[in-house]
Structure 1
Amino acid sequence: MSKGEKVGMRDVSERAGVAISTVSHVLNGTAPISEEVRARVLDAARELGYLARRTARASVNAVNKVLLAVPQDALPDSDVNLVSWTILNALTRDCEARGVRLVPFTLSREDPVEAVDMAARAAKADGIIVINDDRSALLDAIGRSGMPAVLINGEDPNMHIDSVTPGNRFAAQKATKLLIDKGHRRIIHLTWRGRKTVDRRLDGFLDAFRDAGLPEEGAIVVMARGFEPQHGDEALAEWMETHPDLDGATALFCAADNLAFGAIRALKRAGKRVPEDISVMGFDGVALGELHQPPLTTVLIPLEQFGPTALDLLEARAKNGQTPRAAHRVELGCEVVLRDSIAVPKG
């Protein structure tokens, strides 16, 4: 075969001594083929350069420009948005590596829900990534657009678009179980309202009590008005005004590291030592937790994997074209990172 001449399946079939249909079945996985024949076909395809060319062709990006829709309150413009900052930083790096251009779009609750789709089409984007905004009306509008889209760190209850999120419920259950296994029987869960993902953490907290056969009155829920450190400080301080003895609680599980940072401030002002008087655990795994005093035990979310996973979902959706494809929801596993903020209860 002369240099530069295009290699096809026929050439592979002749080199391997099999039918063209057999080559097709081996390369596409469409029929059972013996290991000996499969190896012969793959060796021939590799020697002729056909396998490398086919792989390269399959890896060509179907998504080259993405509209990145981020709510105003998730923009990393302060030290309280470390989760968003980590997600966006990793996504930006992965887009650069793949040659994908990001077009930023700030989401405002005053905008019509069709604004994201209109912005994506105006930018001639191949897909949409939404971070943290899981309003049903917004996601329904994006789903109706027919454009490949992925929601990061949120849930689409109507299952119109793909999403990638932490395994919030199982992770919270795992964290609470660890506290229960250490002997804690009355545990405060400090959380806030407004996000489905955060609701799942409350679900997991309660699941752990049920699974352990413990009475649910030992699961004390305190609501903050938001996720920032001052919100955790305010909520716990206000609650302690009527529960100076912490209602017998020996552990505090916060739905976000930020809440834990604020709650620890409130505990210290009240003369409560961490972990001697009360254990404290967070959720997110932001870098500041390790530098806190005491270093914060937390649920570590693989935040840097959100971006690459979302891009993979977009690619798969774009390459699928108009062929029906169910919405995919990817939950990433989380780990508990043990540090000095938890201990066995006194007595």
Structure 2
Amino acid sequence: MKNILKFLSVITLIPTTSLLVISCTSQTKETTKKTENPTQTLSPDKQTINKIKNILDQQSEAFGSFHTFQDVVDQIKVYAKNEGIKELDKLELLDKKLANKTLTLGNNKNNLKLKYFDIEIPFVLKNVLENEVKTKYSSTNPNEIIQLGYKKNDNYIQLNIENKTITKVPVTLPLKINSFYEAFDGLKSKIVTNLDKWDTSNVKILTNAFNNAKNFNTNISNWNTSKVTDMSGVFFDAEKFDQPIGKWNTSKVTDMSAMFFGAKNFNQDLNNWDVKNVKNMAQMFWDATKFNGKITNWDVSNVVSTNNMFADAESFNQDISNWNTSNVISMDGMFARAKSFTWSLRKWNVKKVVKAQGFRIENKNNLDDDKIPPFKNEVKEYIDD
């Protein structure tokens, strides 16, 4: 009898256990299904949206006729990143077909519709000028720029700074600017706050950027110069400038003429500069009276002109005896009055040199006939004139 009851008890338990197993399995599948197919859509908080709207308001007059709709979005993203806004890939034009449309001249003529995640944000540009963006200054400090001005000049978009006493600029350099031609010409300030923070990775032209900026000595050693092709006259007569720019990327530069002409205090190690593409070094260190930076490793094999390169560089005495000068054509005044230079240049290849007038003028004692390059007789005849 006991065995029969035991058997019936087991049979009675089986259906209950099975139901429990089936129920648990069903719940697990439902939970997994919900996890795999979330119904909620991520959306930014109100504070983030207000930050974006504030940026748009501040930049409503910061674009010119050379900008496209996509240019505007790309620039706004930079400012948004500076404000700590995340997931900027979600900030885009509502209608992507308008990406390449250029801005229309005039007031309130450009109505852009942006979206951030699923939220639409209108952006009406106030005043779009032809090929220009106006500089704006702080209402409390006339020497502080709050909006950088720039303009189209031939094939470049050029930074345009007219105030020569500025002491502060915005942290962000507009993406469209690719030329600093004479941007800080005649600048009177020693330090320009935030200049060191600029992302200059789009800049191609530095010609005469700090020409005659006699007091300028802001540390711009971290500038990204990887796209720069012209550095001629960058620090022309920038008498006080002496910052460690030895890490600048100069691999694409073709012209360094007069780069440190009259930069009387400059004396930095430039040995790691990649100058293999430079063709013009004429007047590069002319009257850079303190310069004695190491440049031994330079590959000058493509240089054509070294006219007055070290003229009046009265402190210079680095070993450049192994330079490859095989393509140099003109060496006029190269070491004129460079009274400290004593290295022998007998190993230089000067077969292509046709001019070397005044090569060692007022410097014959240091560069005697045993030290000068093996010039052709018709060239050597004028090296002291």
Which has a greater percent of strand? Answer: 1
TM-score, reference length from structure 2: 0.23
Q: Which has the higher helix share?
A: 1
* TM-score normalised by length of structure 1: 0.24
Larger RCO, structures 1/2 (Cα 8 Å, 6+ apart): 1
Asked which structure has the greater CA Rg, the reply is: 2
